[in-house]
């Protein structure tokens, strides 16, 4: 699905150069479920952003579905991103002014999906994550777990091949966290590739592979029996 | 406690420099505009209110209402009204007539032409004005005494004490008298209807040759001012005036037909303080200001203040999220809501106070330009110290308190628990809706002002360029003296002028277009006695006048000097015996029951000859019909007019120049000729194009200022929008990030933000259009010749507002859209 070779990312502020990622090599196959772990500041989120095409590497190669995209411009990346990738964030990042339905629908608005088909897919996905009864509510009226389920629905409504989740359970209690992890697992079982950044060993336990990052280097790769 | 409030207020202002700048700049410009407008409005409404007992002084105005004619409104009074009114109404304490004459004053070898006011010796009984020098009781007792303003005294006598000095003056009638300076009065301030600098008593015997000035009920040559007794009601007199007119105005008999003159004359009282805004045109007072201009200015001031206030409210509530934490903490530490309201109001008052002081500076700096445009002498000095304080308090209350109240109440309402726990802003829906409503108000005002400005300006431009019925270019008018005794002077000036190279033609006439006033004559259609007099304006022109002014001929012919009948010059007896030829203008056709210009040719009518109550008649034959010439402004109707040639009535000499490039040279040549032929008379000349432009100068100035203030209002409104867009982009950072992650392109985001502010602009159009349409229709109705209220103006104003909004919002939108979404989404 994607292959990262010798990938480095550094940030430059005034005089200081901070290296977030140093010569990282990662291969992720179609249908994989990878958990990325590591202490704060080790480069987990940077890696996820680059994989998610929200950021570009300083050097190295990033091949996505066989395409070398490390030198792509913003518009090309945006196009590739919206067709292939869904995001789930720790802080949900729902739009307060829009209803649950509208939040989920938003992901399709930029895909030129006709209104009817859009509606069907949104209802379908909401059914799947179990928030259909909250369709007309505002995010602020939902619990954290429900909000994250809306975020999951939004991430998958466009049928992405890859879901990137940045600490999806970080703001949730253990029960709601488990529910969200179940959803992710279910999606993975249905064929979606999932890459998830997490601090939680429990959550990482749901993944097929765990990637440990420290100071921008991949330290170890543990394979888990599915 | 207070110190903490102040510290927070000041630090907040400094920390949020951009918002503070937007707020203060908007307020400063808004307050400065308001102060400037108020100075003007105050000046315009204060005319002569400084004269003692102004509330008891009334001008008697006259309206001639002749069937078949537009009414003629005169800001003055027939001469005999004074004696009759004082006899009939014991409410009148004193009365004085003022009439203006252009006299030639000599000082040594120098001669000057001055507009001198002639007044009855009762002047000071009505106008209780002090003399700087001289004795008021005796100053006007002697027919040969003259009062000078301080300015005139300096002009004629320099440092010499003026009292007792001799000043010879020559009347148009040829009368010459040595006047003795009996007193000096203070120069009239700019907020006075009067601006005369020389005052002499009326001597009735001087007017024996011009009996109409003081004795005719059908001629207005000056104004009568009445001072009513303490407690007397002007309305009581007004009510009895129709009855008074019937009693006192004698019938006129023309050619054996009797007319009840009182039916056509309507007198009315107008308080002195209302003369400037409500008075009709008159020769004794300054040109009135259209009250609607003053009202429009006052409204614009209010609008600007409203827009600036809305900015204030909007930016304060929009910024609320930034202040929420502070409010929550203060509440958690025990602050009561009232204390917080007090704190926030204090901040807005502080801001307004700073803005007010800066605004005064801005007013001070812009006054010279403002005065030049409006032709006034306004100054901050017009406001007494106490008034300035009152103004400041008013503004601070209006803006600081009213505009600050909602944000204060809104901010102080935050519940500390929610804000501190949620660790985020309380983005209240309500305040967003209020902000949008206020933005709609701002834009409705801006669009309305834009439409009004465009309409007013277009009308002004149109008025200036309107066809006046003649070719106004390269006409030099030399103001030669009227009167029989100057006939030789006029004809030699004219014949010498014709010899100058570059002069294409020279013609003579009584008045020239733009000169105020008109004489009217009564026509009789043979065999068709009319129940009411047919009044037609009478103008006197030389043979070649129409060719020189290039007035189109509609039928018949122009005057020709080889046709004996075309010359009407002669004694009254001659005129009655001989009759003569006349030329009509187009408007006169209807008054005389003529259908087409051709119909008129060869028709004979009777016109009145001579003055007084029993007039004889002379038969006149129409030889030509010409197009209407606009003698007055576009506000007025073109009068039905007949032209005749009568050398005795000539005054002005008009030169048609072959090219504008000779104008200065020829004017200098004319002056040289004049000094040769008339050394005792001052030379005065004017260019017709300038005269016409001057007619519209006041309106143009008002239109310019109105436009400038409208633009300012829009700029201030845009500043607020700029601030709001900034907040909106900031507030929606997260949303923009999410949308971008989900695949939105930069242009999707820009469109999103721009559309957010387009809706209020579109709604504002729907409000502004009908309101502006109603106002402008009424405004244009006052002009006889006016532009159409084209929908293009409305749509253009709406599009302009939309464009302005887009540009204002667009830059923020673009920046927000280009931002990397990671930053927006990483932290909450």
Distance CA A184, CA A168 (A): 10
Residue A225 banded pLDDT, cuts 50, 70, 90: very low
ipTM over 0.85: no
- Put simply, whether B660 touches A (Cβ < 8 Å) is no
Torsion-angle region of B743 (φ positive above 0: left; ψ -120 to 50: alpha; else: beta): left
Which residues does B549 contact at the CB level (< 8 Å), separation at least 6? B470, B471, B475, B507, B629, B654, B656
Return the percentage of chain B with pLDDT > 90, whole number.
Answer: 39
- C-alpha angle A191/A197/A200, rounded to 5°? 105
- Give B684-702 as a DSSP string: -EEEHHHHHHHHTHHHHHH
Cβ separation B822–A54 shorter than 8 A: yes
pLDDT tens for residues B782-824? 887 788 888 999 999 889 888 888 888 888 788 888 877 777 6
Of A54, A79, A91, the CB nearest to B741: A54
Give me the mean pLDDT over the A135-139 stretch. 89
Residue B274 banded pLDDT, cuts 50, 70, 90: very high
pLDDT tens for residues B246-262? 999 988 776 667 778 88
Chain A's closest residue to B748, CA to CA, is A110
Cβ separation A55–B822 shorter than 8 A: yes
- Put simply, whether A14 touches B (Cβ < 8 Å) is no
Tokens linked to A25: 């090599």
Q: Which of B317-326, B430-439, B623-632 has the lowest mean pLDDT?
A: B317-326
The distance in angstroms from the start CA to the end CA of chain A is: 19
Of A45, A49, A110, the CB nearest to B742: A110
Give me the mean pLDDT over the A126-137 stretch. 89
Q: What 3-state class would DSSP assign to B76?
A: coil
The distance in angstroms from the start CA to the end CA of chain B is: 33
Residue B425 banded pLDDT, cuts 50, 70, 90: very low
Pick from B61, B44, B41: which is nearest to B288 by CA?
Answer: B44
Per-residue pLDDT at A226 exceeds 50: no
Distance CA B824, CA B828 (A): 8
- Put simply, whether B422 touches A (Cβ < 8 Å) is no
- Put simply, whether B740 touches A (Cβ < 8 Å) is yes
Query: In chain B, which residues have their Cβ closer than 8 Å to the Cβ of A139?
Result: none
Per-residue pLDDT at B426 exceeds 60: no
Per-residue pLDDT at B336 exceeds 70: yes
- Residue B256 CA: distances (Å) to CA of A217, B35, B309, B524, B539: 124, 63, 71, 11, 25
What secondary structure, in 3-state letters, does B269-293 show? EEEHHHHHHHCCCCCCCCCCCCHHH
Residue B417 banded pLDDT, cuts 50, 70, 90: low
Residue with tokens 């999707």: B748
- Put simply, whether A54 touches B (Cβ < 8 Å) is yes
Q: What size, in residues, is chain A?
A: 226
Return the percentage of chain B with pLDDT > 70, whole number.
Answer: 95
Query: In chain B, which residues have their Cβ closer than 8 Å to the Cβ of A53?
Result: none
Tokens linked to A169: 């359970």
Which range, A8-12, A140-144, B409-413, B473-477, is most confident? B473-477
Q: Shortest Cα distance from B828 to chain A (angstroms)?
A: 7
Give me the mean pLDDT over the B207-232 stretch. 89
Interface of A with B in 123-162 (CB under 8 A): 154
Per-residue pLDDT at B492 exceeds 90: yes
Instruction: Choose, out of A53, A78, A104, the residue to mutate when testing the contact with B (most B CBs < 10 Å).
Output: A78
Pick from B270, B383, B281, B278: which is nearest to B43 by CA?
Answer: B383
CA B571 to centroid of chain Cα atoms: 43
Identify whether the C-beta of residue B578 lies closer than 8 Å to the C-beta of residue B536. no
Query: In chain A, which residues have their Cβ closer than 8 Å to the Cβ of B826?
Result: 45
Angle between helices B429-465 and B291-318 (to 10 degrees): 150
Tokens linked to B292: 């609607």
- Put simply, whether B18 touches A (Cβ < 8 Å) is no
pLDDT at position B582 is 95
- Put simply, whether A75 touches B (Cβ < 8 Å) is yes
Identify whether the C-beta of residue A18 lies closer than 8 Å to the C-beta of residue A11. yes
- Put simply, whether B734 touches A (Cβ < 8 Å) is yes
Cβ separation A93–B734 shorter than 8 A: yes
Distance CA B79, CA B215 (A): 5
Chain B's closest residue to A155, CA to CA, is B742
Phi then psi for residue B193, to 5 deg, are -70, -20
Phi then psi for residue B602, to 5 deg, are 90, -10
Residue B117 banded pLDDT, cuts 50, 70, 90: very high
Of B744, B820, B827, the CB nearest to A110: B744
- Put simply, whether A11 touches B (Cβ < 8 Å) is no
Identify whether the C-beta of residue A213 lies closer than 8 Å to the C-beta of residue A22. no
Query: In chain A, which residues have their Cβ closer than 8 Å to the Cβ of B734?
Result: 93, 95
**Residue scoring higher pLDDT (A106 or B116):** B116
Which residues does B658 contact at the CB level (< 8 Å), separation at least 6? B474, B502, B503, B504
Of B427, B745, B827, the CB nearest to A78: B745
Instruction: Choose, out of B741, B749, B817, B823, the residue to mutate when testing the contact with A (most A CBs < 10 Å).
Output: B741
- Put simply, whether B741 touches A (Cβ < 8 Å) is yes
Tokens linked to B476: 């030099």
Q: Which residues pair with A87 in a beta bridge?
A: A164
Query: In chain B, which residues have their Cβ closer than 8 Å to the Cβ of A52?
Result: 741
Cβ separation B742–A107 shorter than 8 A: yes
Helices (H) and strands (E) counted in chain A, each on its own, are 7, 10
Q: What size, in residues, is chain B?
A: 828
Query: In chain B, which residues have their Cβ closer than 8 Å to the Cβ of A111?
Result: 743
- Put simply, whether A102 touches B (Cβ < 8 Å) is no
Residue with tokens 């907020």: B191
pLDDT at position B635 is 66
Q: What 3-state class would DSSP assign to B86?
A: helix
- Put simply, whether B424 touches A (Cβ < 8 Å) is no
**Residue scoring higher pLDDT (B223 or B209):** B223
Tokens linked to B546: 């129409």
Cβ separation A93–B826 shorter than 8 A: no
Give me the mean pLDDT over the B691-708 stretch. 84
- Put simply, whether A175 touches B (Cβ < 8 Å) is no
What secondary structure, in 3-state letters, does A135-171 show? CCCCHHHCCHHHHHHHHHHHHHCCCCCEEEEECCCCC
Chain B's closest residue to A156, CA to CA, is B742
Distance CA B66, CA B337 (A): 71
Cβ separation A87–B735 shorter than 8 A: no
Query: In chain B, which residues have their Cβ closer than 8 Å to the Cβ of A75?
Result: 745
pLDDT tens for residues B151-167? 999 999 999 999 999 99
- Put simply, whether A89 touches B (Cβ < 8 Å) is yes
Identify whether the C-beta of residue B619 lies closer than 8 Å to the C-beta of residue B604. yes
Per-residue pLDDT at B596 exceeds 50: yes
- Give A123-140 as a DSSP string: HHHHHHHT-GGGTTS-GG
Identify whether the C-beta of residue B568 lies closer than 8 Å to the C-beta of residue B538. no
Sign of CA dihedral B780, B785, B789, B793: negative
Helices (H) and strands (E) counted in chain B, each on its own, are 28, 24
What secondary structure, in 3-state letters, does B752-798 show? HHHHHHHHHHHHHHHHHHHHHHHHHHHHHHCCCCCCCCCHHHHHHHH
pLDDT at position B565 is 87
- Put simply, whether B825 touches A (Cβ < 8 Å) is yes
Which residues does B32 contact at the CB level (< 8 Å), separation at least 6? B359, B360, B362, B363, B366
Segment (H or E) for B119: strand B110-119
- Put simply, whether A197 touches B (Cβ < 8 Å) is no
pLDDT at position B613 is 55
pLDDT tens for residues B512-571? 998 887 888 888 888 887 777 888 999 999 999 999 999 999 999 999 988 888 998 888
Mean pLDDT score of chain B, rounded to an integer?
86
Distance CA B780, CA B784 (A): 9
Distance CA B623, CA B558 (A): 8
Return the percentage of chain A with pLDDT > 90, whole number.
Answer: 18
Distance CA B514, CA B549 (A): 14
Q: Which of B61-70, B92-101, B109-118 has the lowest mean pLDDT?
A: B61-70
Cβ separation A91–B828 shorter than 8 A: yes
Chain B's closest residue to A98, CA to CA, is B735
- Residue B213 CA: distances (Å) to CA of A221, B197, B584, B612: 116, 21, 27, 11
Give me the mean pLDDT over the A90-119 stretch. 85
Residue B224 banded pLDDT, cuts 50, 70, 90: very high
Q: Which of A197-201, B58-62, B587-591 has the lowest mean pLDDT?
A: A197-201
């Amino acid at each position: 699905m994607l292959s990262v070779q010798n990938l480095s990312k550094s940030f430059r502020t005034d005089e200081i150069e901070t290296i977030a990622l140093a010569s990282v090599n990662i291969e992720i196959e179609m249908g994989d479920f990878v958990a990325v772990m590591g202490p704060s500041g080790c480069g987990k989120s940077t890696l996820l952003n680059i994989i998610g095409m929200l950021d570009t590497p300083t050097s190295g190669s990033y091949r996505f579905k066989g395409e070398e995209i490390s030198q792509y411009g913003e518009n090309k990346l945006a196009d590739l991103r919206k067709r292939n990738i869904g995001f789930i964030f720790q802080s949900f990042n729902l739009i307060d002014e829009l209803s649950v339905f509208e939040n989920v629908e938003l992901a399709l608005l930029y895909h030129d999906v006709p209104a009817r088909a859009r509606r069907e897919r949104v209802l379908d996905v909401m059914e799947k994550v179990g928030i259909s009864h909250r369709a007309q509510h505002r995010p602020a009226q939902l619990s954290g777990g429900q909000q994250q389920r809306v975020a999951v629905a939004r991430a998958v409504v466009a049928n992405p091949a890859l879901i990137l989740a940045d600490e999806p359970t970080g703001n949730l209690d253990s029960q709601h966290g488990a529910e969200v992890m179940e959803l992710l697992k279910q999606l993975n079982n249905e064929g979606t590739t999932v890459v998830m950044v997490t601090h939680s060993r429990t959550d990482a336990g749901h993944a097929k592979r765990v990637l440990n990052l420290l100071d921008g280097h991949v330290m170890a790769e543990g394979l888990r029996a599915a | 406690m207070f110190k903490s409030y102040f510290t927070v207020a000041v630090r907040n202002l400094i920390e949020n420099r951009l918002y503070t700048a937007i707020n203060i700049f908007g307020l400063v410009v808004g307050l400065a505009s308001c102060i400037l407008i108020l100075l003007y409005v105050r000046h315009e409404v204060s005319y002569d209110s400084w004269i003692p007992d102004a509330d008891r002084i009334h001008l008697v105005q006259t309206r001639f209402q002749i069937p078949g004619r537009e009414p003629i409104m005169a800001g003055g009074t027939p001469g005999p009204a004074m004696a009759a009114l004082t006899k009939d109404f014991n409410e009148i304490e004193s009365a004085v007539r003022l009439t203006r004459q252009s006299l030639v004053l000599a000082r040594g070898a120098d001669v000057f032409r001055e507009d001198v006011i002639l007044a009855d010796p009762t002047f000071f009984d009505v106008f209780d004005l002090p003399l700087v020098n001289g004795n008021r009781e005796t100053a006007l007792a002697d027919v040969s005494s003259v009062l000078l303003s301080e300015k005139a005294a300096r002009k004629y006598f320099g440092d010499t004490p003026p009292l007792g000095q001799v000043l010879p003056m020559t009347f148009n009638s040829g009368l010459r008298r040595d006047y003795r300076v009996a007193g000096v009065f203070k120069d009239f301030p700019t907020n006075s209807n009067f601006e005369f600098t020389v005052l002499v008593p009326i001597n009735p015997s001087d007017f024996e040759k011009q009996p109409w000035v003081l004795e005719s009920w059908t001629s207005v040559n000056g104004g009568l001012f009445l001072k009513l007794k303490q407690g007397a009601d002007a309305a009581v007199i007004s009510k009895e005036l129709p009855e008074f007119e019937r009693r006192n105005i004698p019938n006129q008999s023309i050619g054996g037909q009797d007319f009840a003159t009182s039916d056509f004359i309507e007198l009315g009282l107008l308080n002195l303080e209302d003369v400037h805004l409500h008075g009709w045109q008159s020769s004794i007072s300054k040109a009135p200001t259209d009250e609607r201009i003053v009202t429009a200015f006052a409204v614009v001031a209010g609008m600007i203040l409203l827009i600036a206030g809305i900015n204030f409210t909007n930016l304060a509530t929009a910024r609320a999220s930034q202040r929420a934490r502070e409010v929550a903490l203060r509440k958690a530490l025990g602050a009561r809501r009232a204390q917080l309201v007090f704190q926030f109001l204090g901040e807005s008052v502080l801001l307004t106070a700073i803005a007010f002081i800066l605004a005064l500076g801005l007013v001070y700096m812009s006054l010279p330009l403002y005065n030049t445009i409006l032709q006034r002498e306004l100054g901050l000095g017009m406001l007494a110290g106490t008034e300035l304080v009152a103004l400041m308090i008013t503004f601070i209350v209006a803006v600081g308190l009213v505009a600050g109240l909602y944000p204060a109440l809104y901010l102080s309402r935050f519940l500390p628990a929610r804000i501190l726990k949620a660790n985020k802003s309380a983005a209240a829906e309500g305040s967003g809706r209020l902000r949008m409503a206020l933005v709609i108000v701002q834009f409705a005002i801006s669009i309305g002002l834009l439409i009004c400005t465009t309409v007013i300006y277009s009308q002004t431009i149109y008025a200036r360029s309107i066809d006046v019925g003649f070719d106004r270019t390269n006409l030099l008018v030399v103001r030669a003296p009227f009167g029989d005794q100057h006939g030789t002077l006029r004809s030699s000036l004219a014949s010498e002028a014709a010899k100058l190279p570059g002069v294409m033609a020279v013609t003579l006439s009584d008045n020239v277009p733009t000169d105020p006033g008109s004489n009217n004559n009564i026509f009789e259609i043979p065999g068709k006695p009319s129940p009411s007099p047919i009044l037609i304006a009478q103008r006197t022109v030389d043979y070649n006048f129409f060719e020189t002014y290039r007035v189109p001929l509609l039928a018949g012919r122009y005057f020709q000097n080889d046709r004996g009948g075309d010359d009407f010059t002669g004694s009254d007896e001659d005129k009655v015996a001989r009759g003569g030829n006349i030329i009509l203008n187009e408007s006169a056709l209807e008054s005389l029951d003529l259908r087409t210009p051709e119909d008129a040719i060869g028709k004979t009518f009777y016109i009145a000859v001579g003055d007084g109550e029993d007039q004889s008649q002379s038969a006149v034959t129409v030889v030509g019909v010409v197009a209407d010439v606009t003698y007055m402004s576009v506000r007025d109707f073109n009068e039905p007019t007949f032209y005749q040639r009568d050398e005795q009535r000539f005054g002005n000499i008009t030169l048609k120049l072959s090219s504008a490039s000779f104008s200065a040279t020829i004017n200098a040549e004319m002056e040289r000729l004049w000094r040769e032929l008339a050394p005792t008379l001052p030379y005065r000349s004017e260019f017709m194009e300038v005269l016409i432009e001057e007619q519209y100068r006041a309106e143009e100035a008002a239109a310019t200022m109105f436009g400038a203030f409208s633009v300012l209002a829009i700029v201030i409104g845009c500043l607020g929008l700029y601030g709001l867009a900034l907040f909106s982009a900031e507030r929606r950072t997260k949303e923009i990030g999410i949308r971008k992650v989900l695949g939105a392109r930069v242009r999707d985001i820009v469109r999103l933000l721009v559309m957010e502010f387009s809706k209020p602009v579109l709604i504002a159009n729907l409000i502004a259009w009908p309101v502006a349409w109603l106002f402008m229709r009424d405004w244009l109705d006052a002009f006889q010749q006016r532009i159409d209220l084209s929908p293009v103006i409305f749509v253009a104003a709406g599009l302009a507002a939309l464009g302005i909004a887009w540009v204002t919002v667009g830059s923020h939108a673009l920046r927000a859209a280009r931002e990397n979404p990671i930053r927006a989404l990483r932290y909450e």
